[in-house]
Chain A
Amino acid sequence: MLEIKNLHVKLEEEEKQILKGVDLTVEAGKVHAIMGPNGSGKSTLSYVLSGRDGYEVTEGSATLEGEDLLEMEPEERAAAGIFLAFQYPVEIPGVGNMTFLRTAVNAQRKARGEDELSAADFLKEVRAKAKSLKIDADMLKRPVNVGFSGGEKKRNEILQMAMLEPKMCILDETDSGLDVDAMKLVAEGVNALRDEGRGFLVITHYQRLLDHIKPDVVHIMADGRIVKTGGPELALEVENNGYADILAEVN
């Protein structure tokens, strides 16, 4: 599904290399987790995949179902099936959450040549999905993420994901800032979307999230590369011993 080969990325404005040859393949139906020390390039990878400005790919490739992602505009990537749940969801004063969601859903449907969702159908779907994430009607009416608590913002990201039904879901530290109950809700939201045709890339620092969302594969990223790949036990090792041993071993 998602294939990243030898991806090198530097900042556009500075001579700073952040990704130094990332190789990673996420198969449809699988959940891959990425762990790694602060500043190792995890968020950068997620931004580059979703098309944020400010980065320059100097080498390598990234494709979704064989299509070159790096050539596409962010909205084209979204329509192709990429979704990023942001580490820091953005507040947008003046734009209603509901309006935003509906515009996004219909823009993607239109881009794929599908009919727009009627207002009534949309409303029904949003309400049901919001309810299961314990997002109340008031939050749907408010401006996007404005005045939301940290946990509410993260749940709002998962609501968007549920509405957009992307093929490739990238979750950047969606667990940070969540209380224990909210983490369960979010994990349930993610598990509800697990499907043979859908891939997940879950960036996290903690084993806790992975208790709820069982990964198939765990990668360790350090200094702009994937330095180790293994099964769920790798996450436990990190939880218990930190990164020192793993980093020593690969160096």
Chain B
Amino acid sequence: MALPEVKQTATEARLATLTMPDAGCTRAAREDALARVLEMGLPGRRDEYWKYTRPDTLISAEQPHAALFHSDEPLLFGNLDRLKIVFIDGVFSAEESDDLELEGVNIDRIEDICCKDIHWAKELYGVLEARGQSPVQRPLAALNTAFAADGVAIHVTGKPAKPISLIYRHASETSDAMLHHIIRVESGAEVTILENGPAASRFNKCIEIDIADGGTLHHVRAQGRDHERCAATHMFTRLGQESVYKSFTLTVNGVLTRNEQVIELTGDDAIAHVAGACVGDGDFHHDDTVFVTHDAVNCESRQVFKKVLRNGATGVFQGKILVKEGAQKTDGYQISQSLLLDDDSQFLAKPELEIYADDVACSHGSTSGAIDDTALFYLRSRGVSVKDATNMLTLAFLAEAVDEIEDEVLSEAIVNRLEGWLSRHI
């Protein structure tokens, strides 16, 4: 079917600015991905899936521009023992990174998976992304598979003693970066992946995660504070039997962010939790789009998204739980809430359930509200200032999402970040 002309033109214009890396064995996956892009076209304003978020700046052929932001805050996860992998404007920096040696895990750059003949990686690159294209199209992820210039392949075979920390620095005001990581967690293995930093003026990132039976992956991400940066990210996760995936994202400012999580529970008794806390101000626009597919028995999924919006900021949540035929004893939970600190801000939510099994417990809820006056008065009547009381209630609102982080050191680091934002903004 031919694409609408506007979409066709926009897609061609964007593609004209990109060159496919000459990356040996991923070449075929990249060509396939490009074919998907050509067939789907890049997202447009009229697409149902982009109803609440304008994709214009994410797909435009023009060079992006975002001022660099210098913060005097201490570095996130700064004191934490971790294996650092640094990307500057989307390019791996060997100089800034640690040695990629850690017991229980093998880490390689995507460009090396061919010469080293790493089979699992060749078999994963682009595969989960392609699976994730139906029933909803995600052209920006296909674009990423085709054109990502860098990224790492992380093979977890044991229980590495420290987290693997992907650090994304933003150095050029006109950087336009695409990263594609693939992660395979073997049976019984367990790893924590951290991500932080603004990455680039425009950032398109895709991670494909394959967790084998009994494997566990914890993911904690903090998206950088540069006000003018925009980002579209995708995480495609497939879970085997009794495996666990827990992901948390903090977003503090950034003019446009779209985070998609596509999760497929394919083995019985698997658990997937995704959570997000975001705080935004002014022209901030933040979109969480989640699609969870239950395709096995007795699996649990949980989505907890909280947004604090102020000064005309916009928050979007599109979350779907699809329970396939036969996925009995599914336990699906989804909540999305916003705290609007003034009348100018808005929250748009589209929660969806689609269930084809009969023995399931699924719930979803979405709310939007202001600070509770009664609670505020109660705190103030005990001597707490309006500002501190508002901060306490705001953190309390976000707590349900932050509590999804199991590691206390990590959740404290995130709470510190939030306190920093509050002290600057309220």
Contacts and interface: CB of A to CB of B under 8 A. Distances in A.
Nearest to B399: A94
A94 B304 CA distance: 15
Interface residues of A, number: 30
Given A95-B392, A95-B393, A103-B388, A164 B382 contact: yes
Main secondary structure of the interface of B (DSSP, over half): helix
Interface stretch (A24-32, A48-56, A126-134, A187-195): A48-56
Given A90-B375, A90-B378, A94-B397, A79 B383 contact: yes
Contacts of A92: 375, 378-379, 393, 396
B380 A90 contact: no
Interface stretch (A60-68, A104-112, A214-222): A104-112
A84 B396 contact: no
Contacts of B397: 94
A155 B392 CA distance: 23
Max chain B C-beta neighbours (<10 A), residue from A50, A73, A74, A90: A74
Contact of A94 (B377, B381, B395): B395
Contacts of A83: 381-382
A53 B382 contact: no
Nearest to B380: A74
B383 A164 contact: yes
A148 interface: no
B419 interface: no
Contacts of B392: 95, 99-100, 103
Interface string A118-152: 00000000000000000000000001000000000
Nearest to A161: B382
A77 B374 CA distance: 17
Contacts of A73: 380, 386
Contact of A78 (B381, B399, B400): B381
A107 B374 CA distance: 19
Interface string A7-37: 0000000000000000000000000000000
A86 interface: yes
A73 B381 CA distance: 9
A86 B378 contact: yes
B384 interface: yes
A93 B394 CA distance: 11
27 contacts: A51-B381, A52-B377, A53-B377, A73-B380, A74-B377, A74-B380, A74-B381, A75-B380, A75-B383, A75-B384, A75-B385, A75-B386, A77-B381, A86-B378, A90-B374, A90-B375, A92-B375, A92-B378, A92-B379, A93-B396, A94-B395, A94-B400, A99-B392, A103-B384, A104-B382, A107-B385, A164-B383
Interface of A: 50-53, 73-75, 77-79, 83-84, 86, 89-90, 92-95, 99-100, 103-105, 107-108, 111, 143, 160, 164
Given A89-B378, A100-B384, 20 more contacts: A52-B377, A73-B380, A75-B380, A79-B383, A84-B381, A86-B378, A90-B377, A93-B396, A93-B399, A94-B393, A94-B398, A95-B379, A95-B396, A100-B392, A103-B384, A104-B379, A104-B382, A108-B382, A111-B383, A164-B382
Interface of B: 373-375, 377-386, 388-389, 392-393, 395-400
